[in-house]
Amino acid sequence: MNIYEKIGLKKVINASGKMTALGASAISKDVGDTMKEAAMNYVDIEELIQRAGELISRYTLSEDSCVTLGASAGIAISTAAVIARDNLSLIERLPRSEGLQNEIIIQKGHCINFGASLTQMIALGGGVPVEVGQSNKVTKKHIEEAINKNTAAIIYVKSHHAVQKGMVSMEDMIIVAKENQIPFILDCAAEEDLLKYVKMDADLVVYSGGKAIEGPTSGFVTGKKELIHYCKMQYKGIGRAMKVGKENIMGLLKALENYENRDAIKIVEDQKEVVEWMASKINAIEGLQATITVDEAGREIYRVKVKTDTIKVTELIKKLENGNPAIYTRNHYANMGIINIDPRPLNAGDEEEIVQQLELLMAEERNEMV
């Protein structure tokens, strides 16, 4: 019985991914131990934020970094930073930004909902989102024509939620930003590569600490020193409502250390082994078909894609989630009759429970049809 079952909640098997709605990641014991020790001691928080920025930048090879409560907070703080900079009066005024240089250009296909609206995160930082193009087609000219004296930044969203086709590439958007001397903000919440985007000369790159990095609820913005200084200044304004605790900062630093030292090749090999085993077992269940698929956003993540011809996928999802344990699958393509099983968040034995539950539900479905 885990700690959540002890307070009357059902056990959850997360086969969905590093999803905020399911608690993002399950941290390792040494990250937990680090957080416990941090929580039991005192520290000057401003000094900790400065030192954490220095340490995070060793992993990203950026000029500096600013720790945040999460990637969504990072977007709001980055937005506030490019608008208010280090002007304390403006910092204290945000998100009220009338009359300021406050427009944030974003492709329409990147105006996503990740559990909340991304454009709302921009607005929390005082930004006015300027959506350009259409949801399935944006050109470089759309970006260029939207730039004016009120433009504070251009933002790009690197996410499986975002439209993948018909958008202006990150490379082209960086070029436009550089040509017009406009800060370029990159939302990389769940991305695994901590070096790639800084190397591409993005000004501010936003990461979640609780997803690929497998840390606690946390995140960081990494990039150009002056802009990162402005990000840190926002803790005197809107950032105060998004402050990250000392224990989460230290947990993030430990998780980054672990992430740096991980065996990435073995991790992927282990994922493949799990999905291959699950696909073979699921294909043996009457009424289900399973294949192996790769992450749609280009990350090296292997999943099991499951289809069924005997039960509505929406009904199967409902039965899995209402069971005990509750099993949450990855359902972005449920409207196409597909569920995906992500092996990354599974604990030992979870894959067997998922297969057993699928066998039980499909047997019940066959009996109902008799």
**Weakest-pLDDT range from 242-246, 287-291, 334-338:** 334-338
Beta strands across the sheet bearing 184-187 = 64-68, 219-223, 204-208, 184-187, 151-157, 103-107, 128-132
Flag whether pLDDT at 259 surpasses 80. Answer: yes
- On whether the CB atoms of residues 231 and 203 are closer than 8 A, the answer is no
Q: Using CA atoms, how far apart are residues 184 and 234, in angstroms rounded to an integer?
A: 18
- Banded pLDDT at 220 (limits 50, 70, 90): very high
Flag whether pLDDT at 149 surpasses 70. Answer: yes
Q: Which two tokens stand for residue 341?
A: 């099983």
How does pLDDT run across 168-205, given as a tens digit for each residue?
A: 999 999 999 999 999 999 999 989 999 999 999 999 99
Three-state secondary-structure class, residue 276: helix
Q: Which two tokens stand for residue 36?
A: 């416990």
Can you name the CATH fold of 42-260?
Aspartate Aminotransferase; domain 2 (3.40.640)
Q: Which two tokens stand for residue 245?
A: 């605790």
pLDDT value, residue 364: 86
Flag whether pLDDT at 370 surpasses 70. Answer: no
- On whether the CB atoms of residues 109 and 163 are closer than 8 A, the answer is yes
Mean pLDDT over 144-170 rounds to 94
* Range 5-23+264-369: architecture per CATH: Alpha-Beta Complex (3.90)
Q: Which residues of the chain does CATH 3.40.640.10 include?
A: 42-260
Q: Which residues of the chain does CATH 3.90.1150.180 include?
A: 5-23+264-369
How does pLDDT run across 47-101, given as a tens digit for each residue?
A: 999 999 999 999 999 999 999 999 999 999 999 999 999 999 999 999 999 999 9
pLDDT value, residue 115: 87
